[in-house]
Amino acid sequence: MEVEELTDIFYTSDKKGQVCRVKLNGQGFTLQRETTNNRSREQLIGLDDIVGSRCIVVKKDRRGCSMLCSSAAQNDGNRSDSGDDTKRKYNAITFQHNDASAYLYVFAYILNKKHLRNIIRRERTVLKLRFRSFDTFGDNMREAERWYHTVRAFKGRSLGYNDIDERRILVLLNPKSGSGKARDIFNRQVVPVLNEAEQPYDLHVTKHANYAREFVRVKVLDNYSGIVAVGGDGLFFEILNGLLMRADWLDARNIVLGIVPCGSGNGLARSIAHVCG
């Protein structure tokens, strides 16, 4: 099914009256801004760098402040042990009382090079689009959701899916890996990205040596798109051996594997990062 390219004009929040033409297609978001000398400047947020998006609703709290909150339509309640999405805070912004705008937040992690140290790392970028072309909030939200579903469709097509893969990720975490900070690293650095990507997952903490091997050997994996090891190379080794010990190992070996380096030996994760640039 062909995905429709979308184009619209949005006002930027940093400079009053300045407009930005936004185009969404299979490459990602192209932002075209006017500069002070009547020239245009383009920026591309590539589809490969986008992890997810979210429709945002403005709600008034008891003090009369306006807060940006995730739309309930996104069904965030299907994650287990994920840390409630509502704990992720957005900045308070002042809006007019009768504001009927809807918002789309697009989360991306863009590769940036630090010139002083010649280090390349990904930096979090949030594209905020405000929809206010219509008089009612409902119409503006429907337009925001149209962009939201288009982003998901383009993203799914780039990953080779006709539809978005709704399967979960199986996460196995070794709390004693390395300096014992695996759980803290997972909660601080991994969970926010999974929430932004709307990726449901199941978290299981290992209890003893070879726990992951036996767990994976007997676990029903039909509902999982991948397995992630949060620990060192030893935990990944257990998972791999558990897969190869299964009766259906020929099928199980096709499941996607990942690793979050938290152990004393992280050679595998470093090698993967090096190969991926």
Fill in the DSSP letter of residue 254. T
Non-local (6+) Cβ contacts of 147 within 8 A are 6, 24, 53, 104, 129, 131
List the Cα angle 65/123/265 in 5-degree steps: 120
Q: What gap in Å lies between CA 242 and CA 248, rounded to an integer?
A: 11
Pairing mode, if any, of strands 224-231 and 168-173? parallel
Tokens of 222: 């039909």
- pLDDT band per the 50, 70, 90 thresholds, residue 233: very high
The answer to whether 233 is a known catalytic residue is yes
- Which of the 8 DSSP states describes residue 187? I
- Single out the catalytic residue among 76, 85, 233, 248: 233
pLDDT confidence of 153, banded at 50, 70, 90? very high
Q: What percent of the chain has pLDDT over 90?
A: 60
pTM here is: 0.79
Q: Distance (Å, rounded) from C-alpha 164 to C-alpha 208?
A: 36
Q: What is the mean pLDDT of residues 243-259?
A: 95
pLDDT per position as a tens digit, 88-101: 333 334 444 567 89
- For residue 178, give Cα distances in angstroms to 29, 173, 233: 40, 12, 11
Q: Which of 103, 117, 197 is nearest to 147 (CA)?
A: 103
Give residue-wise pLDDT tens across range 21-70: 999 999 999 999 877 677 778 999 999 999 999 998 766 554 444 334 44
